Amino acid sequence: MKQLILIFGILSLVVLGNSCKDDDAEFSDCWRTPNKTQLKLQLLEGPDVTLPSKISIFFKVTDANNNPVGYLKEDNFVIYEKGKNDSCPRVISKFEAKRKISGRQQVFNHSTLLVLDLSGSVLEQSLQQVKDAANAFVDQIVPPLPDPSIAMGIYWFDGADKLHELKAVTTSLVELKNAINSLNQNISNDNSTDFYGAVIKADAKADSILAVYKAVDVASAVSVVFFTDGEDRANRYPKQTAYDAVAQSPKEISWFTLGVGNEINSIDLQKIGRNGFFQAASISQLTNVFKQIAQVVNNEANSYYFFEYCSPVRSGTNNGLIIEAYDGNEVGFMQASFDATGFTGGCQL
C-alpha cells in the first residue's frame, strides 16, 4: 500500500508538470512540461473564503478545442496548495481536505434561449418541421419535472424591429411545448428577416438574465441557440454591430447557431455561433441536428463547477492554490491565491 501511495504521488507531480507550461514563472522550477492535450479551467468567481477554513471557487472546464467538458466528479480534481514554507505546490489529499462539488440547484442556474426564424420562407414552407425539431430540442434540455436550475425561454424574429417572445423563461416543459405547438402561419406580419437585430436583442436578453441571478448571488450562465433558414434581409442594423454584441458578451453567455438550406450566410452564422455552428443540408435533417445541439448545450450546462474544500493551511495572506482536472487522458489546471488569516479547524461542507 505504501508503494502504491508513493507511485501515485510521483505520478501526480508528473501529471501536474503536464499542465503548467510557462504559465507562471513561480512554478517553472517545480516540474517539466511535455506536450499533452490540455483541458482549460476558466476561473469565473472566487476563490472565496469562509471561516473557519472553507475555500469556494466557481469555474468552467473546456477541452483544447473549447468544447465544454461536463459531468466531472470530485475524483476528477486534485488540489495543490503552496504555503509560506513550500518551494512548490503540494498535493492536498482528501484526508487532509474534504471537498465537494455542490448541487447545481443551490449554486448555479443555466438558462437556454431558443431563438427561431419565423420569416416568410419558414412559415410558408417548413413550419411543421421547425415545430417538430423545436419540440425535440426542448425534450432534450428541460426535464419533465421542473428543475429550478434548468430553464428555457423561446423567442422568434421576422422582419420587425423586435425580438418576439413566444414563451418567457420557465422551468416548465409543458408550457414550452404548448407554446411551440401554438405556432401558426399567421403569427407574423412581416415576411422579411431581421437577423442582426435579433442577435443584438438576444444579447440584451441574455445579459438581463445574468443580472437577475447576480442580484440574488446565484452563479448563472446562458446558452443562446439561433435557428435560421436564410440571412439578414431587413438591413436595419450593421452586421458588425451584431458581431460585436456576441464578441463582447460575457463568458457566461454561449452562442450556438443552426442554419438549414442553401440560402444561409455561413460566415454570419460562424461569427455569431462562437461556441458552435451547425448546418442541416435540408429541412428533413433539422430534428437530428437540433438533438446534436441539445447534447452540446447539456454539456455546456454541466461544464460549470462550484468547488468547495476545507483547506489545511492555518496562516498566510497569499497562499497559492492550484486546482487540476482530469478527463481521460486530458489534464488542465488553474491557479489562484487565498488569504488564510484566522483559519482554524472545524470546517464543514
Where are the domains positioned within the chain?
2-97+311-338, 106-301
pLDDT of the residue at 7: 33
pLDDT of the residue at 36: 58
pLDDT for 10 beyond 70 = no
Burial of 136 per CB tally in 10 Å (0-12, 13-18, 19+):
middle
pLDDT of the residue at 105: 52
Closest CA to 305 of 156, 112, 86, 107: 107
Q: 194-246, pLDDT tens digit by residue?
A: 999 999 999 999 999 999 998 988 888 999 999 999 999 999 999 999 999 99
pLDDT of the residue at 20: 38
pLDDT of the residue at 113: 98
Q: 311-320, pLDDT tens digit by residue?
A: 999 999 999 9
For the segment(s) 106-301, the CATH number from 2.30.33.40, 3.40.50.410, 3.20.20.120, 3.30.565.10 is: 3.40.50.410
Is residue 342 left, alpha or beta, with left meaning phi > 0 and alpha meaning psi from -120 to 50?
left
Q: What is the mean pLDDT of residues 127-148?
A: 95
Read off the pTM.
0.80
Angle between helices 239-247 and 195-215 (to 10 degrees): 30
Q: What is the mean pLDDT of residues 77-103?
A: 88
Q: 246-278, pLDDT tens digit by residue?
A: 999 998 999 999 999 889 999 999 999 999 999
Q: What is the mean pLDDT of residues 66-94?
A: 90
pLDDT of the residue at 41: 94
d(CA 258, CA 235): 21
Burial of 280 per CB tally in 10 Å (0-12, 13-18, 19+):
buried
pLDDT for 132 beyond 70 = yes
pLDDT of the residue at 65: 85
The number of residues in the chain equals 349
| Residue 107 φ/ψ, nearest 5 degrees | -130, -10
Averaged pLDDT score across all residues of the chain: 88
d(CA 254, CA 177): 23
Q: How confident is the model at residue 47 (pLDDT cuts 50, 70, 90)?
A: very high
pLDDT for 329 beyond 70 = yes
User: Mapping DSSP to helix (H, G, I), strand (E, B) and coil, where does residue 177 land?
Assistant: helix
pLDDT of the residue at 285: 94
- Higher pLDDT: 211 or 26? It is 211
d(CA 181, CA 184): 8
pLDDT of the residue at 81: 94
pLDDT of the residue at 18: 37
User: Mapping DSSP to helix (H, G, I), strand (E, B) and coil, where does residue 294 land?
Assistant: helix
pLDDT for 17 beyond 50 = no
pLDDT for 347 beyond 70 = yes
pLDDT for 22 beyond 70 = no
Q: 28-44, pLDDT tens digit by residue?
A: 456 544 455 689 999 98
Which grid coordinates belong to 332?
Answer: 488542465
pLDDT for 26 beyond 60 = no
Lowest mean pLDDT among 163-172, 243-252, 323-332: 323-332
pLDDT of the residue at 30: 65
pLDDT of the residue at 106: 55
Percentage of the chain lying above the pLDDT 90 cut: 70
